[in-house]
Amino acid sequence: MLRILGLFLAVLCSVSACLGDEVTLKNGDRLTGTIAQSDGKTLTLQTDYAGDLSIKWEAVQGVESKEGLHLELKDGKSVAGPVTASDGKLQVSTNSGNVETSIADIKTLRGNKEESVYEKTLHPGIFQEWKSGLNLGFALTRGNSQTKNLSIGFVATRQTFHDKLGAYSNIVYASNDAPGAVPSTTANTAGGGFRYDHDLRKRLFAFVAADFFSDALQGLNIRAAEGGGLGFHAIKNDSTTLDFLGGLNYTHESYTTLTRNFAALSMGEDLIHKIGKSTVLTQDLNFFPNLNNTGEYRATFDFGTVTKLTRRLGWQNSFSDIYVTNPPAGKRKNDLVLTTGLNISFGE
């Protein structure tokens, strides 16, 4: 008799374990499965019989987890362990004892599998988390006019919870192929650079940056500017990011007729804004006063939009203005570039 009773209890415990986590609703229903995650408003329960179920916390009467759950509370604390909850109260069995809180205080909740994925996103490899886009534009005319125009741009961004690395490059070339046309090359610019941001606090970050630019028609072989400083996140949410930056840079300019090296201030702002579900607007304004020669400066303004046509394909428009107070004699101070064409995106 005792053997039969022992076997029955063993089977009962086995069945209970197989049932996994249990969620009791206020209407009396009991749901079993594996608690996956919660954003504080809804609870996701993975089941074999109905897939993933999203349950509003306000409909939950009680919760019992067999495996440990990882909770992040609104006060910033984190706890992990098996969880029981009823009537809005929640108890976590941790290694150091029980922790009591309320369902209303939950910011996020993750099961072991989801926690493992989340921790990997905190420290991704250098080749992970990249998002990039390639902009292409080309125009060709023949007949009464004989011209060709080519624009190529590339942007890549890798952003984690505490830092951001961005790189870019662009080329614009245009020519007048008509016999005897002077000048035959009407545009020939190339640029590129990177910026790395690291959050020091929620709003404050440090950055280092390097930019390189050449313009054959201005006689500029290379302009290289390297520097760094501090930035401030004025706005940072899912739809809008607005940063203000300030720092110092060292600039080397090599023209066909002269060479200059000088220190300069770096002041600017960067804006990224999502318009609806398909369009992203970017804009940045930078000002670089020359510290060696007061009154001389360089200023840049960039504005662009990318509108998604499909998951990978979009339409891009960009406008750039580069102003230099002291170009070589006979060269203009202002250069404007307007491009439009297709955008091919990579990454998620």
pLDDT tens digit sequence for 13-65: 444 444 578 888 888 888 888 888 888 788 888 888 888 888 888 888 888 88
Q: What is the pLDDT of residue 255?
A: 95
Q: How far, in Å, CA of 258 to CA of 191, rounded?
A: 20
The confidence score (pLDDT) of residue 199 equals: 95
Q: Answer yes or no: is pLDDT of 326 > 70.
A: yes
pTM for the whole thing? 0.70
When pLDDT is cut at 50, 70 and 90, the band that residue 333 belongs to is very high
pLDDT grade, residue 2 (50/70/90)?
very low
CATH class of 130-346: mainly beta
- Please determine, for residue 335, whether its predicted confidence score (pLDDT) is greater than 50: yes
Q: Using the structure block, give the residue that is written with the tokens 């890549």.
A: 156
- 120 Cβ partners below 8 Å, 6+ apart? none
Do residues 219 and 331 lie in contact, with contact meaning Cβ atoms separated by under 8 Å?
A: yes
- The H-or-E segment that residue 3 falls in is helix 2-19
Residue-level pLDDT at 13: 41
Average pLDDT over residues 119-128: 71
Q: So what's the architecture of 19-122 in CATH?
A: Roll (2.30)
pLDDT of residue 83: 87
Residue 44 tokens, joined:
């996701």
Residue range(s) of every CATH 2.40.160.40 domain in the chain: 130-346
Where, residue-wise, is CATH 2.30.30 in the chain? 19-122
Close Cβ partners of 276 (under 8 Å, ≥ 6 residues apart): none
More confident residue, 307 or 94: 307
Q: How confident is the model over 317-324, as a mean pLDDT?
A: 94
At 24, give phi and psi (nearest 5°).
Answer: -105, 125
The pLDDT > 70 percentage for the chain reads 93
Q: What is the DSSP letter of 136?
A: E
What CA–CA distance (Å, rounded) separates 70 from 166? 32
pLDDT at 200: 96
Stretch among 62-71, 118-127, 144-153, 290-299 having the lowest mean pLDDT? 118-127
**Tens digit of pLDDT for each residue in 199-233?**
999 899 999 999 999 999 999 999 999 999 999 99
DSSP per residue over 227-260, as a string? Answer: EEEEEEEEEESSSEEEEEEEEEEEEEEEESS-EE
Q: Of 118, 96, 120, 121, which is closest to residue 107 (Cα–Cα)?
A: 118
